[in-house]
């Protein structure tokens, strides 16, 4: 009898300890800045009684997708990966080939808005826990604005006159990282949502207009005319140069994303940063912000610690994860209900995401970047550099876009 009781107690202890110890979970990402997030998630999960060890590894963004493809096919991938959003050729292929597993019935996704879940859903199943939302626009140095008596512009012309006043005062109005073509595409796309407006982008997507519309050419022209307010030699500058110049108050404004805020504050804690959406052409139009889901945490077919991976995903779908994530990265968490940092700029970015996000876009998250030639890779990236260098005209950039996308996108194909 005594032996039986001891055996029962031992079995109970073993079961209890097994339920708590979920072992090591490996996560791969392209975001180096998230290492501390996962250290704190591990601590928080352990505090909840889930004995997990999270092994986080980050890779260069440019090599990340190839690494994931190769690793998952050869069975050497991690339990969880940061996956790109949908629609997107790469993620769709991974899902179609069952290299990402559905988590629909495994994780409670009720803390996410429908828009975020749409970016990770494929044929009715959810393929990841969304982690961050990005807001892009113009970030400006409030002290410089205050010193010159400037206010946030309500129209494009007011933005130009602010730039003129800043230039006249001897400061660089805009710092542009022109060496990195993706940043110029982002600049075009964030300006487009306000200048062209979501209705025009919807018309474009549905083929009621095309890139040869004078409105699109006028947008190209507006951006090209703005280059007199950029730093000299801007086509040779990188985003690292931009971070340093903006943080150390060498330039008054940058066209960038909220993810840059963390770096600027690290470089200069006293920097006083403000944000505004790209102003529309006229005062009677509403401004819009380009916002997008950065990605999701997906479970792979290579998962070795399934139970541990599901526990981590469950935690990532809770507001607590959002609190940790936002506190460390100053990025907007995709999960709702998180305690957000008490920071004016951060609150403004969240407000923008919730109230002024453009429902239609033509860059990341749009159909125009899912095939080749892509509006992102093959048109606007080289095209904006060529426009700024004076090698092509605004009209030619429009023609480039139309010629490229009409090769494969039926609504824009000429009859």
Partner 1 sequence: MTIYSFIVIYPLISSLVLSLYRWPGVGERVFVGLQNFRTIFTGAFRTELFNAFFHNVYFFVLNTSLELGLGFLIAIMLASKIRGAKIFRTLTFIPNMIPIVIVGFMWRLFLNPQVGLVNQFLQTVGLGGLARPWLGDADLALTTIIFVNVWRNLGFYVLVILAAILDIPNELFEAAYIDGANNRKVVWRIIFPLTFSTFRTLAILLFIWSFNIFDMVYALTGVQAGPFRSTDVLGTLFYRTAFGGLGAAAVDMGLGASITVFIFAVVMPASILYVYLAERRQRGA
Q: Which spans of this chain sit near partner 1 (rule: CB under 8 A)?
A: 62-63, 65-66, 69-70, 72-73, 84-85, 87-91, 93-94, 96-97, 99, 178-182, 185, 231-238, 241, 245, 363-364, 369-374, 376-378, 381-383, 385-386, 389, 391, 403-404, 407
- Report the nearest approach of partner 1 to the CB of residue 405 (Å): 12
Q: Which helix (H) or strand (E) holds 345?
A: helix 344-355
- Report the nearest approach of partner 1 to the CB of residue 399 (Å): 13
User: Which of 150, 146, 115 minimizes the C-alpha distance to 130?
Assistant: 115
CB of 137 or CB of 178, closer to partner 1? 178
Residue 296 near residue 129, CB atoms below 8 Å: yes
- Report the nearest approach of partner 1 to the CB of residue 41 (Å): 27
CB of 81 or CB of 317, closer to partner 1? 81
- Report the nearest approach of partner 1 to the CB of residue 88 (Å): 3
CB of 89 or CB of 154, closer to partner 1? 89
Residue 287 near residue 348, CB atoms below 8 Å: no
Question: At which residue do the structure tokens 């704190």 appear?
Answer: 40
CB of 302 or CB of 323, closer to partner 1? 302
Crossing angle for the helix pair 394-405 and 214-226, nearest 10 degrees?
Answer: 130
- Report the nearest approach of partner 1 to the CB of residue 211 (Å): 15
CB of 38 or CB of 363, closer to partner 1? 363
CB of 309 or CB of 397, closer to partner 1? 397
CB of 343 or CB of 378, closer to partner 1? 378
E strand map for 142-242: 172-174
CB of 328 or CB of 400, closer to partner 1? 400
Two tokens, residue 164: 């003129």
Q: Compute the distance between CA of residue 88 and CA of residue 302 in angstroms, rounded to an integer.
A: 22
Contacts by 57-64, CB closer than 8 A, 24 or more apart: 57/26, 57/27, 57/28, 57/29, 58/28, 58/29, 58/30, 58/31, 58/32, 58/34, 59/28, 59/29, 59/30, 60/30, 61/30, 64/28, 64/29, 64/30
Q: Compute the distance between CA of residue 101 and CA of residue 306 in angstroms, rounded to an integer.
A: 11
- Report the nearest approach of partner 1 to the CB of residue 381 (Å): 6
- Report the nearest approach of partner 1 to the CB of residue 148 (Å): 22
- Cα dihedral 326/329/335/336 (nearest 10): 30
User: Which of 122, 184, 154, 134 minimizes the C-alpha distance to 358?
Assistant: 134
**DSSP secondary structure of 127-147:** --EEEEEEEEEEEEEHHHHHH
- Report the nearest approach of partner 1 to the CB of residue 61 (Å): 9
């Amino acid at each position: 009898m005594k032996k039986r009781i001891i055996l029962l107690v031992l079995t109970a202890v073993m079961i209890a300890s097994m339920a708590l110890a979920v072992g090591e979970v490996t996560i791969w990402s392209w975001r180096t800045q998230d290492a501390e997030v996962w250290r704190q998630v591990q601590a928080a999960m352990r505090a909840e009684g889930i004995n997990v060890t999270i092994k986080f590894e980050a890779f260069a963004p440019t090599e990340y997708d190839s690494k994931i493809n190769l690793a998952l096919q050869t069975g050497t991938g991690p339990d969880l990966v940061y996956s790109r959003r949908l629609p997107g050729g790469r993620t769709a292929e991974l899902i179609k080939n069952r290299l990402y597993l559905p988590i629909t019935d495994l994780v409670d996704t009720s803390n996410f808005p429908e828009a975020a879940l749409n970016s990770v859903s494929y044929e009715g199943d959810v393929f990841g826990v969304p982690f961050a939302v990005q807001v892009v626009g113009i970030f400006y140095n409030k002290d410089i604005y205050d010193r010159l008596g400037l206010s946030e512009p309500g129209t494009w012309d007011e933005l130009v006159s602010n730039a003129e006043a800043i230039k006249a005062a001897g400061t660089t109005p805009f710092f542009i990282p022109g060496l990195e073509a993706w940043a110029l595409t982002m600049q075009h796309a964030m300006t487009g949502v306000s200048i062209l407006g979501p209705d025009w982008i919807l018309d474009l997507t549905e083929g009621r207009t095309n890139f040869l519309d004078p409105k699109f050419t006028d947008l190209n022209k507006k951006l090209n005319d703005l280059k007199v307010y950029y730093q000299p030699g801007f086509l040779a500058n990188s985003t690292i140069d931009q971070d340093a110049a903006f943080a150390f108050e060498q330039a008054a404004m940058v066209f960038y994303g909220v993810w840059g805020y963390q770096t600027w504050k690290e470089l200069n804690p006293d920097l006083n940063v403000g944000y505004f959406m790209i102003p529309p052409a006229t005062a009677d139009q509403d401004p819009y912000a380009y916002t997008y889901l950065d990605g999701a945490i997906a479970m792979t077919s290579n998962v070795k610690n399934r139970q541990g991976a599901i526990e981590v995903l469950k935690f990532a779908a809770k507001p607590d994860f959002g609190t940790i994530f936002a506190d460390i990265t100053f990025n907007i968490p995709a999960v709702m209900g998180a305690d957000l940092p008490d920071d004016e700029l951060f609150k403004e970015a969240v407000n923008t995401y919730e109230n002024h996000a453009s429902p239609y876009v033509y860059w990341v998250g749009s159909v125009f970047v899912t095939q080749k030639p892509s509006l992102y890779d093959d048109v606007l990236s080289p095209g904006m550099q060529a426009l700024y260098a004076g090698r092509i005209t605004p009209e030619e950039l429009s023609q480039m876009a139309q010629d490229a996308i009409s090769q494969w996108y039926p609504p824009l194909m000429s009859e």
